[in-house]
C-alpha cells in the first residue's frame, strides 16, 4: 500500500519549542499545509472515508479522532464528515500504527494522488514507539491532530488552545476548536 511520499507533517514532542514564545493576537491563527497552493481533499471535506489498518488502542484512538472532527460545529454546522470503510480503493484516510523508531514523532500524515492541488487520499501513521506505552488520551489527541493535517491544516503553535497546536507547542485542548474549524471552512469554501 505504501506509495510515493509527497509531503509529511510530523507531530513532534521535541521541536518547535521556540515558537511558543511568539504568540499571535490576530483574529485567527490557523495555517494550511500548503499556504500558497491550498492543498486539500478532492471532492471537499464531507463524506470522506477512513480505513483502519490497526486495532486495539491506536485503532480506537483513530475512531475517536474522527468522531471529534465530526462533532465539531462552526456556526452550528459541521465543517467535515468522516465514516469508516472496508474498501481499500474507497478510503481517503488510511490509518496505520507504525513503529517509526523515533520517540519525538507521535504521528505523521502523508498525501497521495494529486490532481493539481487536490489529493485524493492520505495516510496517517501513529507511532507505536512513542504511543503504545503512553496514555489513551495522548493517542486520541494525536490522532485528532493528524486528521486535521489530513484535511489540509498546518501546525498552529501560536495558539495552544487549538488541536492543530503541536504537543511540543503546549497544546491545551484535545478536540477541534473554533479556530481549527474556521480553518477547514476557509480551506474548502
Ligand atoms: Zn502536526
Distances in Å between the Cα of 19 and the Cα atoms of 22, 86, 155 are 6, 40, 11
In a domain, 3, yes or no: no
Q: Which cell is 126 given? A: 501513529
For ligand 1, the distance from its centroid to the CA atom of residue 56, given in whole angstroms, is 23
For ligand 1, the distance from its centroid to the CA atom of residue 76, given in whole angstroms, is 26
Whether residue 120 contacts residue 92, with contact meaning beta carbons closer than 8 Å, is answered with yes
For ligand 1, the distance from its centroid to the CA atom of residue 79, given in whole angstroms, is 19
Whether residue 52 contacts residue 59, with contact meaning beta carbons closer than 8 Å, is answered with yes
Query: What average pLDDT does range 153-177 have in this prediction?
Result: 97
pLDDT tens-digit readout, 72-96: 999 999 999 999 999 999 999 999 9
In a domain, 1, yes or no: no
Distances in Å between the Cα of 175 and the Cα atoms of 20, 57, 80, 87, 99 are 20, 18, 14, 27, 25
In a domain, 25, yes or no: yes
Distances in Å between the Cα of 84 and the Cα atoms of 9, 48, 65, 150 are 23, 9, 12, 15
- Chain-centroid distance, C-alpha 163: 9
In a domain, 96, yes or no: yes
Q: How many domains does the chain have?
A: 1
pLDDT tens-digit readout, 104-130: 899 999 999 999 999 999 999 999 999
For ligand 1, the distance from its centroid to the CA atom of residue 123, given in whole angstroms, is 14
Give me the CATH number covering residue 24: 3.40.390.10
Specify the pTM. Answer: 0.88
Whether residue 168 contacts residue 17, with contact meaning beta carbons closer than 8 Å, is answered with yes
Whether residue 188 contacts residue 37, with contact meaning beta carbons closer than 8 Å, is answered with no
Q: What is the pLDDT of residue 103?
A: 81
Query: What average pLDDT does range 31-41 have in this prediction?
Result: 96
In a domain, 173, yes or no: yes
Whether residue 45 contacts residue 184, with contact meaning beta carbons closer than 8 Å, is answered with yes
Length in residues, the chain: 189
Q: CB within 5 A of ion ligand 1: which residues? A: 11, 155
Residue with cell 477547514: 184
- Chain-centroid distance, C-alpha 180: 11
Q: What is the pLDDT of residue 28?
A: 77
Helix (H) or strand (E) holding 184: helix 178-188
In a domain, 156, yes or no: yes
Q: Which cell is 96 given? A: 496505520
In a domain, 72, yes or no: yes
Q: Which cell is 187 given? A: 480551506
Q: What is the pLDDT of residue 7?
A: 58
For ligand 1, the distance from its centroid to the CA atom of residue 155, given in whole angstroms, is 5
In a domain, 161, yes or no: yes
For ligand 1, the distance from its centroid to the CA atom of residue 35, given in whole angstroms, is 15
Could you tell me the residue range of the domain that residue 86 belongs to? 8-188
Query: What average pLDDT does range 53-59 have in this prediction?
Result: 94
Amino acid at each position: 500500500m505504501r506509495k510515493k511520499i509527497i509531503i509529511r507533517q510530523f507531530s513532534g514532542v521535541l521541536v518547535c519549542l521556540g515558537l511558543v514564545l511568539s504568540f499571535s493576537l490576530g483574529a485567527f491563527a490557523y495555517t494550511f499545509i500548503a499556504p500558497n497552493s491550498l492543498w486539500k481533499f478532492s471532492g471537499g471535506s464531507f463524506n470522506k472515508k477512513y480505513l483502519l489498518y490497526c486495532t486495539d488502542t491506536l485503532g480506537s484512538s483513530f475512531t475517536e479522532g474522527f468522531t471529534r472532527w465530526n462533532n465539531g460545529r462552526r456556526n452550528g454546522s459541521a465543517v467535515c464528515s468522516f465514516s469508516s470503510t472496508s474498501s481499500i480503493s474507497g478510503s481517503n484516510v488510511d490509518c496505520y500504527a507504525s513503529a517509526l523508531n523515533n520517540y519525538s514523532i507521535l504521528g505523521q500524515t502523508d498525501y497521495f494522488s494529486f490532481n493539481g492541488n487536490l489529493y485524493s487520499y492520505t495516510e496517517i501513521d501513529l507511532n507505536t514507539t512513542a504511543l503504545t506505552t503512553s496514555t489513551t488520551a495522548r493517542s486520541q489527541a494525536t490522532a485528532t491532530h493528524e486528521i486535521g493535517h489530513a484535511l489540509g491544516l498546518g501546525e498552529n503553535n501560536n495558539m495552544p488552545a487549538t488541536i492543530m497546536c503541536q504537543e511540543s507547542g503546549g497544546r491545551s485542548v484535545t478536540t477541534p476548536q473554533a479556530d481549527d474549524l474556521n480553518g477547514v471552512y476557509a480551506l474548502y469554501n
